[in-house]
Structure 1
Amino acid sequence: MELSPIPVGTAIGAFLLAFPALFSIVNPIGAALIFNEVMGDRTPAERRLFARRIALYALIVLLVSLWLGGYVLNFFGVSLSALRIAGGIVVAVRAWSLLMQPEVHEERKASAAEPAHGAADDVAFFPLTMPLTTGPGTIAVAIALSSQRPASGAGLLGFFGGVSLAAGCVAALIWLCYRGADSVVALLGPGGARVMSRLIAFLLLCVGVQIMITGVLGVADLIRTGHG
């Protein structure tokens, strides 16, 4: 029984599921505004270096969460359907908070990134990658996405290939947006960034609801099969 309208057993289907969700929660355009603010005293060469390192670290965080997150929870006895329902709730709640109060979310990220005054090696991962770019919310979304993997078979390879490509594209956008943070600020400004944040938060809300629906259908299928 196919529980999702998106064929997650193919690389294209997995990419189409993962990329909008990861892009929405990471929001590299909005994060670039914060990056530009906290990096205001850095030289252009230092900012480019930070952009490259943050993108690399963000890619590692995303890949580890996507590849291993679901398996770790399954190891503790969490069923795939339960993981999907819980993950969908986490994604939906996170998206709702972003949709209703994007300013609070931005202020929280900016406050967490304030101590970014050490050497590149010291601050590129913390606080500029975590929690500014890929914080707990991003990890939760990635784990929820990993719950959408096929149970077994050849579809697993396509799924992990697709979500890995999505993570790579998001990391590339982080690098581009952070590297050109000055241009992003000039183009959008804080008001434009908040409008875009609300739009992509709504998209993330839809993804969370879809993941929950998939989990509920999985539970219903198990009940029907068990009683059959």
Structure 2
Amino acid sequence: MDFNPLPTSTVVGAFLLAFPALFSIVNPVGASLIFHQVLADRTPHERRRLALRIAVNALLILLGSLLLGGYILNFFGVSLGALRVAGGLVVAIRAWGLLMEPEAHEDRKSDAASPAERKTDDIAFFPLTMPFTTGPGSIAVAIALSSQRPAGGHTVIPFFLGASLAALAVALSIWGLYRASDRVMALLGVSGARVMSRLVAFLLLCIGVQILASGVESLATDFLARR
């Protein structure tokens, strides 16, 4: 039985799997509100310049995690099935926390970005990219997504192409929403952002369960093949 309804061997299928998961965990809508609050004393030009640099940095981090994370774990002897189970658990637990306590997640992000209020040197990478925008949770989700790659053959390339396009789309959303953070603040406000955070967290929870199920299926198939 196939637990994964998305054909990850295609570009579109990989994109439809990766984009909601990455968008949910990064949550550029909610993050843009904190970005605006933390950098309220900066000029609009400075915020736009930082938004572009953060988006580029986030893209590189997500691509590195997607393209290399799974292979690095496999190098250390972690099977693809085990990687999927672990990755699915990480995504599901992370999503559950976001779903139940979005305020706590916002507080952690605000604390991560707070040094930007004091420092005058380059803050685009630390703390505004790492860990504020794409922290350990985002990297873990990207590695979990990489575990969904096909076992081999010519289908691996379409999978990574679709996942890379999803990372690019998330980076573009970071750039656009951070750049327009003042308008996002005026449109949604804090309560509106929390409602959206809960919606995307539920979607992320479903994706985590899907990855976990595919990992259990893979482990069960390997176990039965050895019998």
**Rounded Cα–Cα distance in structure 1 between residues aligned with 2:219 and 2:108:** 37
Aligned to 2:210: 210
Amino acid at match of 1:70: G
Contact 2:22 2:141 in 1 (8 A): yes
2:179 aligned residue = 179
Deviation, 1:224, is 2.0
1:147 counterpart residue number: 147
Partner of 2:127: 127
What corresponds to 2:163 in structure 1?
163
Q: Which runs of 5+ in 1 are unaligned?
A: none
Deviation at 1:2, TM superposition (A): 5.0
Say whether 1:42 aligns with 2:39. no
Distance 2:132 2:185 in 1: 17
**Aligned: 1:82 with 2:82:** yes
Q: Which residue of 2 aligns with 1:7?
A: 7
Per the alignment, residue 23 of structure 2 pairs with: 23
Q: Distance in 1 between matches of 2:120 and 2:159?
A: 38
Aligned to 2:54: 54
Instruction: Provide the rounded CA distance (Å) in 2 between the counterparts of 1:193 and 1:176.
Output: 16
Q: Report the CA distance between 1:222 and its aligned residue.
A: 1.1
- TM-score, structure 2 as length reference: 0.97
Cα distance in 1 for partners of 2:106, 2:22 equals 17
My pick for the range that moved more, 79-88 or 109-118, is: 109-118
Mapped to 1, the partners of 2:4 and 2:176 lie a distance apart of 32
Contact 2:24 2:200 in 1 (8 A): yes
Secondary structure at the aligned position of 2:156 is classed as helix
Aligned length: 226
Give 3-state SS (helix, strand or coil) of 2:153's partner. coil
Separation in 1, partners of 2:44, 2:132: 20
Quote the Cα distance in structure 1 between the aligned partners of 2:115 and 2:3: 45
TM-score, normalising length from structure 1? 0.97
Aligned counterparts of 1:2 and 1:108: Cα–Cα separation in 2: 37
Structure 2 Cα separation of the partners of residues 226 and 75 of structure 1: 22
Q: Alignment RMSD, CA only?
A: 1.1
Please report how far the alpha carbon of residue 118 of structure 1 lies from its aligned counterpart in structure 2 after TM superposition.
3.2
Q: CA deviation at 1:180?
A: 0.1
2:119 maps to 118
Corresponding letter in the other structure for 1:10: T
- Tell me if the contact between 2:2 and 2:214 (Cα under 8 Å) persists in the aligned partners: no
Percent of counterpart pairs with the same letter?
A: 65
Structure 2: stretches of 5+ with no match in the other structure: none
Given residue 164 of structure 2, which amino acid in structure 1 is its aligned partner? S
